[in-house]
Structure 1
């Protein structure tokens, strides 16, 4: 761990401490973190493979779900392997450029996942409120433009963060009391005014995400209004069931994220290691739960997974016999 009084614009390395105050428990904490990460990667990978291979799932809703699964894989893979390397191998060093790259992907995945959830809410709005026009409204060219807009918006919002970090001089310390790099945590090490970093890095993504939440809430207000005006109980139950798993995923994503943000802003009496534990759970918890929620609550996905496993088993048996 290095301290220096010289102004260095791009330190060679930063030093990630892991979870300060819980160093004695790093090995024990790594076990559930590793299991959750493996579950997240395998579950989301299976979801993507099944959606790609099963023709019955080639619909806009499942396309957005595959985007959500890939975003979850990237989010957890950007952070968890480095945390496990710290816990298991004491590999605390991370190159400056690698740290900035980690900051970029963590925040891009956060903003991108929020936009994907908004797109999924729009899909459910069209499906429930105007079912006869669903195929005409959500054509594949429209879905492709929505996907491109999600990627472009996320990139454009977070890309300035790279320049905001690279312009800063670092001279106090290169020690980051965290298990992965995040924007304000790195900016706080600088020997310069970081007001722009704080305003942009905190306000802009949060305002965008809050706007997404408002639009999702408006979509579901119309959806609920339409559902409760359906003529039969069976139709109402079917419509609600199609939205139930999406609402669960929305809660899984937004509740922990806003709780983490509020504890950072107002929970000054909460120990630092609690903040870092919450941050680690946030990047692996929702990615682990999302495929489980959709697998349990969506009949088409359950049938697709069963069919995919049957085909894999048949192929394996044929290869043994052949």
Structure 2
């Protein structure tokens, strides 16, 4: 498909995704680890969901929240990775106007949904350790249902203006996105309009949503640590902290990659664009691939549930 001329007056009806514009010769090699990560993420999250669904001992609020996290990871993987692999393997670079902005909406809303889920899980651990006697009355199935509605509604509503504002811009002539995904700024730069409002809203919304979540997570663990230090029995303190380790590892994966992306975007002129593109793709693959593995390895109930599931299948 021929690229549209930059001086063309025709409105754009589709975009072309150009992954790694400076290193297209090694895209096929990169597709191998990406496809393996994709299969790992989809397989591990699917097994975790089936295990929690079939194993009655896992029908508890914390595991329901973990199921929500797995669902978010699966949707994110399916939104980004198949299209990236289609570009690498079959050179299918075109993406329709509506599909591009749908992908943009899912990416912008589901990432803060994940951080919000981590925040609710941190609150779960705070109640379990700091108020153990009240835990059954506070963290109930009804609480999880309300928290899930809040997670989805808050982030979907507050991030929806990002693709809406971008879709309202006028696109004439330029249709080549120098990215593997329909990132907001990558698409907005193709417009002949001023997209300052779009950029400011994304910055404010992103930092408000993610920032508030991480502040509340930090406060939760501050209270947890303070409570644990008051335990007279050393064994009780270790046991209490061990219930938080898996959750803390997941937050570390999520926040580390996010921090790298932020820092590299700040130093955009010093960091090659291809590195930024690769980091954006990996951020939608590495946490989803590792999250279920961490909980599966470190949580005895899940490990036993997976073993039962495998024994049923034999």
Show the 5 A alignment for 1:22-101.
22-101=23-102
1:212 aligns with 2:213: yes
Give the whole-Å Cα distance in 2 for the aligned partners of 1:286 and 1:76: 10
Counterpart in 1 of 2:144? 143
1:2 aligns with 2:9: no
* Post-superposition offset of 1:202: 2.1
Residue 20 of structure 1 aligns to a residue in which SS?
Answer: coil
Give the whole-Å Cα distance in 2 for the aligned partners of 1:273 and 1:78: 20
Distance 1:238 1:20, change over 3 A: same
Counterpart in 1 of 2:180? 179
Counterpart in 2 of 1:278? 279
* Post-superposition offset of 1:7: 5.1
Counterpart in 2 of 1:105? 106
Residue 178 of structure 1 aligns to a residue in which SS?
Answer: coil
Give the whole-Å Cα distance in 2 for the aligned partners of 1:244 and 1:267: 34
Give the whole-Å Cα distance in 2 for the aligned partners of 1:48 and 1:8: 47
* Post-superposition offset of 1:248: 0.2
Counterpart in 1 of 2:194? 193
Give the whole-Å Cα distance in 2 for the aligned partners of 1:3 and 1:79: 27
Number of residue pairs matched by the alignment:
312
* Post-superposition offset of 1:274: 0.8
* Post-superposition offset of 1:4: 4.3
- Could you list the per-position Cα deviations for residues 55-85 of structure 1 after superposition, in whole angstroms to 9, with x for gaps in the alignment? 1111111111011111111111100000000
* Post-superposition offset of 1:118: 0.4
Residue 285 of structure 2 aligns to a residue in which SS?
Answer: helix
Show the 5 A alignment for 1:166-315.
166-313=167-314
Counterpart in 2 of 1:316? none
Give the whole-Å Cα distance in 2 for the aligned partners of 1:55 and 1:230: 32
* Post-superposition offset of 1:262: 1.7
Q: Does the 8 Å contact 2:4/2:173 carry over to 1? A: no
Q: Does the 8 Å contact 2:169/2:193 carry over to 1? A: yes
TM-score of the superposition, structure 1-length normalised? 0.94
Q: Does the 8 Å contact 2:10/2:173 carry over to 1? A: no
- Could you list the per-position Cα deviations for residues 178-225 of structure 1 after superposition, in whole angstroms to 9, with x for gaps in the alignment? 111111111111101101110011221222101110110000000111
Bigger Cα displacement from structure 2, 193-202 vs 224-233: 224-233
Counterpart in 1 of 2:134? 133
Q: Does the 8 Å contact 1:8/1:169 carry over to 2? A: no
Give the whole-Å Cα distance in 1 for the aligned partners of 2:236 and 2:136: 20
Q: Does the 8 Å contact 2:155/2:209 carry over to 1? A: no
* Post-superposition offset of 1:252: 0.3
* Post-superposition offset of 1:5: 3.0
Q: Does the 8 Å contact 1:36/1:284 carry over to 2? A: yes
